A and B are shown apart, each in its own frame.
Chain A
Amino acid sequence: MDLYRSHVLVCSGTGCTSSDSRLIMQDLNKELAARGLDKEIKIVETGCFGFCNLGPIMVVYPEGTFYCQVKPADVKEIVEENFLKGRPVERLLYRDVDHDVKTKEFEDIEFFKHQKRVALANCGFINPEKIEEYIARDGYFALAEVLTEMTPEQVIDIIKKSGLRGRGGGGFPTGQKWEFAHNSPGDKKYVVCNADEGDPGAFMDRSVLEGDPHSVLEAMAIAGYAIGSDQGYIYVRAEYPIAVQRLQTAISQARNFGLLGKNIFGTNFSFDIDIRLGAGAFVCGEETALLASIEGKRGEPRPRPPYPAVSGLWGKPTIINNVETLANVPKIIRNGWEWFASIGTEKSKGTKVFALAGKINNTGLIEVSMGTTLRTIVYDIGGGIPNGKKFKAAQTGGPSGGCIPADLIDIEIDYDNLLAIGSMMGSGGLIIMDEDTCMVDIARFFLEFTQDESCGKCPPCRIGTKRMLEILEKIIAGKGTLEDLDNLETLATTIKNASLCGLGQTAPNPVLSTLKYFRHEYEAHIVDKRCPAGVCQALLTYFIDAEKCRGCGLCARNCPVEAISGKVKEPYVIDSAKCIKCGACLEKCKFGAVVKK
């Protein structure tokens, strides 16, 4: 064992890696060695801390000093000041935007204060490429306990009592799923981990796989024991190269330690896991399409029943659990179902990880207890809306979900409350929108995504979403009629009822929920030919405020289509017939005289 007086944790999640955290680690290594500090200070590569907009993140223990936006050029100063002289580098400390206070230790940062980390407990704390560090944090003890002291029925009972529900979107009770597969007769059964995270802007599962891959492996082995399976598959998208590489490392370490393979802990139980790479089709997150893809077939869904618990992979009983769901399992076994059931709301237990994105100050990965209000997430954890803008709505569940309007900001977020207002939990994408967001445009964006990702097997989804998209594009172009809104609703309801799988059944949700809460915006586009948020180009007109215009002519010189005319020192005028609405004049005007409405 090597004793170091200090550990430097450097985030090597995807976010921080893309802003040079690898280079920082290399430079740190060199600099520490050059100063003879390499035997005193240990560099630890970790998974995501969640504070991605301030990455790359570096934390120095034992002090817990939290550095943000570290650049390779800062390494020399950090080594000289922090490690040689013991003074924190002030300018790299976290700074609270509102209060202008520097915070040294990361437990004191508002962003972390309101979170509760269960699934992410190890992310940003352990080195995900060292199985020993996972074990030191009680890793694989749940598997040991399950294999040596419990029957499969007891394991299922604990998971059922804990109230754990699927974190991938649907929220189906996990224990019940396991029980179905356990009760299905079959000589061969499979455990599948669904890591095909496809929502735009969501990266919960990726972060768990990158930051704590062993928790998923351990949970899969536990699930295997519970249902009587000896083989697991992790279906992960090839676009997650760091996650894939960490999983490969983790699997081979677990095999070397005898935690995967034959006769684990000297029992009769054997279990192994393999990785299957997905090509990144959104529909492959749907369980039957995912199974088809693992089997080497085209990733298309099939009708259920039979459910995978009865007839899944190669016709054998199969359970499919999401990454985050699995990450909770070892903790439930170790701490007891009572502990887990004490967190959250009546019907939604535990915590939920969200990828916070959009118009919000602190973008990143957060984990909160079920039942936390949207207000806490937006204002306390998220740090509010940038540039003093007003909060307008939040989109949950990505392209399958709906929006929560500003007047419902005090809603306690859990499965049932979200369903009640026409949204859904989804896998945990949380996109914040401010007053400058056009809700019609947002609905179009999500529908364009699902329409593009529709596999085309069933007509309601293939044709229906296309027709809906056409109507939305028509409205955005200022050519919509009020009848279009009725047609949208009829189409949406039909697609929801008639589609084969979850993709089609949920694709109209963004349209339905924006229609429900922001119908006036649709009407403004149709009746007044106006986009209230000032987003839809076709409905905007640019003009020059004669009182503010100084007649400098800068706008006219920059207009690419010569739509602006006038005399020097007199107000200029935009010819709206010629104007192509490129916004060049607005950008160039030094007096704020160009207005778009």
Chain B
Amino acid sequence: MRSLEELKRIKEEVQKEMAVREDTGAPQITVHMGTCGIANGAREVLNAVMAELRTRNLINIHVTQTGCPGLCHQEPLITVTFPGKTPYIYGKVNPEKVKKLISQHIVNGQPVTEWLVNLSK
């Protein structure tokens, strides 16, 4: 170790990897993975979410899974939650849609309204 800068560089690099363990108030992407979800391709959606986050080097996003919320006809579903805000549920998600969801909603904070599940329908 020659300098403080070198130490800082290592710290920042590894902190990204460890962010998942910290309670940082990170936005959360929840993939619904009940039997219906998995049958409709939720696993591919989850893989696409991870791939997109890696590509964009987005580190402070928590990706979790949950079960079926009862909207089986809309599967695969994902829920995007910013801490303290209303969750947004997207239906019939596919790996292609994931890219736009991440860039528009996670990065720019603008929900993709046309893909939201409209519960009043």
Contacts and interface: CB of A to CB of B under 8 A. Distances in A.
A86 B67 contact: yes
B20 A61 contact: yes
Contact of A125 (B4, B7, B21, B46): B21
Given A62-B62, A85-B34, A86-B66, A1 B20 contact: no
A5 B19 CA distance: 10
A265 B53 contact: no
B69 to A, nearest CB: 12
Contacts of A584: none
A61 B67 CA distance: 17
Contacts of B4: 141, 144, 148, 265
B10 A135 contact: yes
24 contacts: A4-B20, A5-B62, A6-B64, A7-B18, A9-B21, A62-B26, A62-B28, A62-B63, A62-B64, A64-B23, A86-B30, A86-B64, A86-B67, A87-B67, A125-B21, A135-B7, A135-B11, A137-B18, A140-B7, A141-B11, A144-B7, A148-B4, A258-B2, A266-B2
B54 interface: yes
Given A84-B33, A86-B64, 9 more contacts: A4-B20, A6-B63, A85-B34, A86-B65, A87-B66, A135-B10, A140-B7, A141-B7, A259-B1
A424 B42 CA distance: 60
A64 B23 CA distance: 9
A295 interface: no
A133 B18 contact: yes
Contact of B20 (A6, A85, A132, A266): A6
B3 interface: yes
Interface string B40-57: 000000100010011000
A100 interface: no
Contacts of B26: 62
Size range of the interface on A?
35 or more
Interface of A: 1-7, 9, 40, 61-64, 83-87, 125-126, 132-133, 135-138, 140-141, 144, 148, 257-259, 264-266
B102 interface: no
B105 interface: no
A98 to B, nearest CB: 27
Given A5-B50, A85-B33, A135-B11, A62 B20 contact: yes
A2 B17 contact: yes
A191 to B, nearest CB: 19
B77 interface: no
Contacts, number: 94
A237 B92 CA distance: 60
A585 B26 CA distance: 63
A85 B67 contact: yes
B14 interface: yes
Contacts of A141: 4, 7, 11
B73 interface: no
Contacts of A144: 4, 7
A40 B65 contact: no
Q: Top 7 nearest A-B pairs by Cβ distance?
A: A86-B65, A136-B14, A258-B1, A62-B62, A5-B63, A132-B14, A61-B21
Given A135-B10, A257-B1, A63 B64 contact: yes
Given A85-B34, A258-B2, A265-B3, A7 B20 contact: yes
B16 interface: yes
A7 B33 contact: no
B33 A136 contact: no
A4 B3 CA distance: 30
A3 B17 contact: yes
A424 B94 CA distance: 65
A83 B33 CA distance: 10
B18 to A, nearest CB: 5
Contacts of A135: 7, 10-11, 14
Contacts of B38: 85
Nearest to A64: B23
B70 to A, nearest CB: 15
Nearest to B63: A5
A197 B31 CA distance: 48
A3 B14 CA distance: 10
A266 B3 contact: yes
A563 B3 CA distance: 81
